[in-house]
Amino acid sequence: MLHKSEEEAFLQARESMIRTQLAARGIHDQAVLTAMMNIKRHLFVPASHSAEAYADRALPINAGQTISQPFIVALMTELLEVRAEHRVLDVGTGSGYQAAILAELAAEVISIERHPELAQRARKTLKSLGYQHIKVVVGDGSLGDLSRGLQTAPVAGRLALVEATS
């Protein structure tokens, strides 16, 4: 559990991120900015990197993967034009941060991750934050592996954050 001063520092860092990294660089969708403000990015990164959670860069998370820099997350989300009635497919769950942002805007998020350890960690983090309309599954979305019923209903948008395999 964080001390009040740590929570205040993270809040100030999120506010600065919104102002200097997102709004100043052209992110104008208020719903996206609000979602980015509401989601505590430091909960999605390893504790060893929490002090850098709101920095303007990607950070390592595990399995050789990274959490995308906040501007990229906001830009992709804004370009997707997610609305409350949408169902969104997120390819490349990673830490679950992008899925949480999408869940603030959409009716349902289905997120697919090829690394079981990342999927498990993301599920745990998202569950601890109370998300019930995000489904995290293990599979290789870069190869079109949409098993386990993901193909049963149309989605309004697809967001792919995948590492190319050789």
What positions carry a catalytic annotation? Answer: 68
Q: What is the three-class DSSP state of 88?
A: strand
The alpha carbon of residue 56 and the mean position of all alpha carbons in its chain are separated, in whole angstroms, by 15
Q: How many helices (H) and strands (E) does the chain have?
A: 5, 6
Q: Which two tokens stand for residue 111?
A: 């997120």
Token look-up 């949408």 returns 86
Among 79, 121, 116, smallest CA distance to 100 is for 121
How far is the C-alpha of 161 from the C-alpha of 3, rounded, in Å? 33
Token look-up 């991120």 returns 17
